[in-house]
């Protein structure tokens, strides 16, 4: 995990004695590059349009206790260049993946015997931001959340400003709303998804219009199957994210899509929350883009 407090000083003194003056800089950026719960596919989406050296580190889903480093590179690996299969996204090949193994000696890139051990992830990141060692290029330490940068790269700055003023809308599948009492954060989303998927029969997914504006989130059920319109003031929204366990919703007609949601305080209460769950409907409107925009509104 990223170094915290005095652990960072111990790590720096033991492994990297020449960078003690940069402690605060590295520690403050770990929240931007350490994304423990995202999937390999989500990492590719975040990085494929970024500059070489952009990266995220996540918890490995295949190797217990290890981490996955996903980074954008300038050229695809040699094995990918001659592979011109129909439907292969060559831009995605520019996102390389490396496994960071852990042991009693520390952390280091797996399969790279010339790589040293580091006392923590922050030390590994900072050293590779100065020299690539076994990586294809140096790491570019981010100064903001990659979800926000992905949104900015998708449109001109003026368009982003206009969207933040006017709001944006998309179509999603409304799944369920689950009372959380005082629970919020990723645990609230995870718990709500677990409870929903364990119900029999499952709730019917209803297409709704999902609009985010400076005033809040407005849901409109144009077919009026469940409701007509619901509004959640932005000041009541406490958290939003995809399902931390990356569980999927099986769509009618086949195919699975990501589950995501936001947590809002129950109307008339200052302590009780409700998790509102959704699933992706349109591939052109992925959950990370929707959530990134909602997050921006929450910070305004």
List the CATH number of the domain containing 82.
Answer: 3.30.505.10
**Taking 60 as the threshold, does the pLDDT of residue 244 lie above it?**
yes
Domain annotation covers residue 215: yes
Say how many domains are in the chain.
2
**Taking 50 as the threshold, does the pLDDT of residue 200 lie above it?**
yes
**Taking 80 as the threshold, does the pLDDT of residue 100 lie above it?**
yes
What tokens does 79 get? Answer: 């094995």
Mean pLDDT of all residues in 202-207: 93
DSSP assignment letter at 72? E
**Taking 90 as the threshold, does the pLDDT of residue 79 lie above it?**
no
> Which of residues 143, 169, 202 is at a domain's end?
143
Q: What is the pLDDT of residue 254?
A: 80
**Taking 70 as the threshold, does the pLDDT of residue 86 lie above it?**
no
Same domain assignment for residues 123 and 217: no
> Which of residues 114, 143, 172 is at a domain's end?
143
Same domain assignment for residues 139 and 178: no
**Taking 70 as the threshold, does the pLDDT of residue 227 lie above it?**
yes
**Taking 50 as the threshold, does the pLDDT of residue 84 lie above it?**
no
Same domain assignment for residues 129 and 218: no
> Which of residues 115, 143, 171 is at a domain's end?
143
What tokens does 100 get? Answer: 């960071």
Same domain assignment for residues 91 and 218: no
Q: What is the pLDDT of residue 289?
A: 77
Mean pLDDT of all residues in 112-119: 91
Between CA 97 and CA 6 the distance in angstroms is 30
Same domain assignment for residues 177 and 294: yes
Domain annotation covers residue 283: yes
Q: What is the pLDDT of residue 83?
A: 45
Domain annotation covers residue 152: no
Mean pLDDT of all residues in 161-184: 77
Same domain assignment for residues 69 and 180: no
What tokens does 217 get? Answer: 């989130």
Mean pLDDT check: name the lowest of 53-62, 81-90, 115-124, 283-292: 81-90
Domain annotation covers residue 196: yes
Same domain assignment for residues 131 and 188: no
Q: For 115, phi and psi rounded to 5 degrees?
A: -80, 135
Q: Which long-range contacts (CB under 8 A, 24 or more apart) does 262-265 make?
A: 262/217, 262/232, 262/237, 262/291, 262/294, 263/180, 263/184, 263/185, 263/188, 263/189, 263/237, 263/238, 263/239, 264/217, 264/232, 264/236, 264/237, 264/238, 265/236, 265/238
Domain annotation covers residue 155: no
Domain annotation covers residue 151: no
**Taking 50 as the threshold, does the pLDDT of residue 26 lie above it?**
no
Share of the chain above pLDDT 70, in %: 77
Domain annotation covers residue 148: no
Between CA 145 and CA 141 the distance in angstroms is 11
Domain annotation covers residue 187: yes
Same domain assignment for residues 206 and 290: yes
**Taking 90 as the threshold, does the pLDDT of residue 54 lie above it?**
yes
Same domain assignment for residues 10 and 136: yes
Same domain assignment for residues 18 and 139: yes
Q: What is the pLDDT of residue 297?
A: 81
- Domain residue limits at 78: 6-143
**Taking 70 as the threshold, does the pLDDT of residue 163 lie above it?**
no
Mean pLDDT of all residues in 288-297: 81
Can you state the percent helix, strand and coil of the chain, rounding each to 5? 30, 30, 40
Condensed to tens digits (0 to 9), the pLDDT of residues 255-265 reads: 889 999 999 99
DSSP assignment letter at 108? E
**Taking 90 as the threshold, does the pLDDT of residue 144 lie above it?**
no
What tokens does 157 get? Answer: 């700055």
Same domain assignment for residues 11 and 125: yes
Q: Going along 130-220, which residue ranges are E strands?
A: 168-181, 206-213, 216-220
Mean pLDDT of all residues in 234-240: 93
Q: What is the pLDDT of residue 89?
A: 54
Q: What is the pLDDT of residue 13?
A: 34
Mean pLDDT of all residues in 187-212: 94
Q: What is the pLDDT of residue 198?
A: 96
Q: What is the pLDDT of residue 178?
A: 96
CATH code: domain of residue 199? 2.30.29.30
**Taking 50 as the threshold, does the pLDDT of residue 156 lie above it?**
no
Same domain assignment for residues 131 and 27: yes
């Amino acid at each position: 995990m990223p170094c915290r407090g005095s652990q960072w000083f111990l790590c720096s003194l033991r492994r990297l004695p020449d960078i003690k003056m940069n402690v605060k800089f590295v520690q403050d950026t770990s929240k931007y590059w350490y994304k423990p719960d995202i999937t390999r596919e989500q990492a590719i989406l975040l990085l494929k349009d970024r500059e070489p050296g952009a990266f995220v580190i996540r918890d490995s889903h295949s190797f217990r206790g290890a981490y996955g480093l996903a980074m954008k590179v300038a050229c695809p690996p040699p094995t990918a260049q001659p592979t011109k299969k129909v439907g292969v996204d060559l831009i995605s090949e520019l996102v390389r993946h490396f496994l960071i193994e852990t042991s009693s000696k520390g952390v280091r890139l797996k399969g790279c015997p010339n790589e040293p051990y580091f006392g923590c992830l922050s030390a590994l990141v900072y050293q590779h931001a100065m020299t690539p060692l076994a990586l294809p290029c140096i790491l570019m330490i981010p100064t903001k959340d990659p979800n926000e940068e992905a949104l900015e790269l998708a449109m001109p700055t003026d368009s982003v400003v206009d969207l933040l003023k006017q709001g944006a809308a998309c179509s999603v599948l409304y799944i369920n709303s689950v009372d959380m009492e005082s629970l919020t954060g990723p645990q609230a989303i995870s718990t709500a998804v677990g409870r929903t998927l364990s119900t029999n029969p499952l709730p019917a997914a209803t297409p709704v219009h999902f609009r985010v504006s400076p005033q809040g989130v407005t849901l409109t059920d144009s077919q009026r199957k469940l409701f007509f319109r619901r509004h959640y003031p932005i000041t009541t929204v406490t958290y939003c994210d995809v399902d931390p366990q990356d569980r999927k919703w099986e769509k009618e007609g086949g195919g699975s899509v990501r589950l995501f949601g936001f947590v809002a305080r129950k109307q008339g209460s200052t302590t009780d929350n409700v998790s509102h769950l959704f699933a992706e409907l349109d591939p052109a409107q992925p959950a990370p883009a929707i959530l990134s925009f909602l997050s921006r509104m929450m910070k305004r």
